[in-house]
Amino acid sequence: MTTAPWLAVRELVVRRGRAALACAVIAAIAATVTATELVARAREEAVAAQIDAMGPALTVVPRGTSTGELARYELGEAALPASAEAAVRAALGRDLRAIERRLVVHRELAGTRVPVVGVAADALPMPLHGPDSVALGSELARRLGNEAGVALDGRELRVEGVLPSTGGVEDLGLFLPLAAAQALAGVEGVNELRLSLRAGVSSRGAEARLTRASLGAAVIRSDRGDVADREAQESLSRHRGSAYAVMAAVAALCLVIAAHLDAAERRVELATLVALGASRRTVLGALLFRSALLAAAGSALGAAGGAALAAAQDPAVAAALARAWSLCVATVGAAVAVGVAAAIPTALATIARDPVRELQEG
C-alpha cells in the first residue's frame, strides 16, 4: 500500500466517528437504491412469468401460402426443416430464453375436430408416463365428461390430468408425448417451435430478426408479445434511472461537503505533509482515496442492508437473493466513482493552497 491510501485508511479507521454521518447518508441512499432495484426486478420477472404462462411470444411453423399447404400443416404432414431450430438459436442468441418443440395434428374426438399436441414429457404441469399417457385441455375434458380414459385412432389412452384453462384454443387440445404424436401422425420432426424470449426483449424485434434469417418457415407473433412489450414499458424501469440519478446527486453533495469539511479541518496537517516532502499527487491521492473509501464503506453497508430489507419484505426477492451480489457490486462501484468525483474539486483546491500560509496561520 502506498503512502496516500495508507494515510486515508489510518485516518478513517482512527477517526471513524467523524466520518460516520457521511457514511450513514451514503448507506441510506445505497440501501434505498438496492432495495428498490431488487423489488423492481423481482416484479418484472413475475410479470414476465405471468406473460409466459399465456403462451409463447413467437411460434415458428412450416411456411405455407396455399390452402393445400396449410391443410398439410394441419394434418401434421408438413414438418419444419431440420435446420430451423439451429437457425432460430443463431438468429436470437442470448435473447432466446427457451424453445418448446411441438407436433400438432388434428383428429375427431367427442364429435369435434381437436388439436392433438405432442410435447416434451416435462412441458406440462403433470408428467406424462409413456406413449399412452395424455393430458386434456379443460374444455375437451368437460366435453368428454372428465373420463379417466379416452380412445384415439382405436387406442385407449390414460388421462393423467386436466390442464388449467387458458381461454384459448388449447383448452380443446389433447396433449401426449412428442414421440407418441410423431408415431400417430407418421411424421419425423416437429411442426411448431414455440419461442420464449428474455424479459424486456421486444417480440417485434425478434420477429424481424427471424424473418431476415431465412428459416425456411413462417413466424407468427402472438398477441401476448405485444402485452409483454407494453408491460415492460409500463414497469418502473422508465422512472428508476432518473430516481437513481437524483440519489447519486444527493450522495455526491454529501461527499462534497464531507470532503470540504475534512480538508478544512486538516489544513495544517496537509500543509505539514507538503513540508515533509509529500508530492501533490500524494496529498491529492490521500484526499481522493479517503472519499472513495468512505463511499465504498457506506455503500457496501447500505447495499447489504437494502438487499436484506427487500428480501424480508418480498418473497420473490428472497428467492432471487443469490443473484443480488452483482447489483451490490454495481452499487458499490457507482458509489466509489461518485466519491472520487465529489472529492476532486476540494482536493485540487487543497493542493493549490500555499503551505507556508497554512502553517503560519494554523
Partner 1 sequence: MIRVDNLTKTFAAPGGGEVHALAGVSLWIDRGEFVAVVGRSGSGKSTLLFAMGGLATPTAGHVQLGETRVYDLDREARAALRRTEVGFVFQTFNLVPYLTCLENVALPALLAGSSRGEATDAAARVLERLGMSARSRHRPAQLSVGERQRVGIGRALVNGPRVLLADEPTGNLDPATADQVVDLLRELNGEGQTIVMVTHDLRLAARAGRIVRLRSGALDTDPPERVTA
Q: Which residues bind partner 1 (CB under 8 A)?
A: 1, 3, 6-7, 10-11, 13-15, 268-269, 272-280, 282, 355-356, 359-360, 362
Least separation in angstroms between CB 276 and partner 1: 5
Least separation in angstroms between CB 300 and partner 1: 22
Q: How many CA atoms lie within 13 A of 112 on its CB side?
A: 15
Residues 6+ apart with CB under 8 A from 344: 288
Of 7 and 135, the one with the shorter C-beta distance to partner 1 is 7
Gap between the Cα atoms of 299 and 340, Å rounded: 14
Least separation in angstroms between CB 356 and partner 1: 5
Least separation in angstroms between CB 306 and partner 1: 31
Least separation in angstroms between CB 285 and partner 1: 12
Q: Amino acid letter at 158?
A: R
Beta bridge partners of 221: 58
Of 151 and 275, the one with the shorter C-beta distance to partner 1 is 275
**Pairing relation of β-strands 133-136 and 155-162?**
parallel
Of 252 and 273, the one with the shorter C-beta distance to partner 1 is 273
CA 337 to chain centre: 24
Of 114 and 259, the one with the shorter C-beta distance to partner 1 is 259
Least separation in angstroms between CB 261 and partner 1: 16
At 357, is the secondary structure helix, strand, or coil?
helix
Gap between the Cα atoms of 139 and 57, Å rounded: 23
Q: Amino acid letter at 156?
A: E
Gap between the Cα atoms of 255 and 184, Å rounded: 71
DSSP per-residue codes, 258-310: HHHHHHHHTHHHHHHHHHTT--HHHHHHHHHHHHHHHHHHHHHHHHHHHHHHH
Of 4 and 92, the one with the shorter C-beta distance to partner 1 is 4
Of 166 and 272, the one with the shorter C-beta distance to partner 1 is 272
Least separation in angstroms between CB 21 and partner 1: 18
Beta bridge partners of 136: 162, 174
Of 7 and 104, the one with the shorter C-beta distance to partner 1 is 7
The dihedral over CA atoms of 350, 355, 361, 362, expressed in degrees to the nearest 10, equals 70
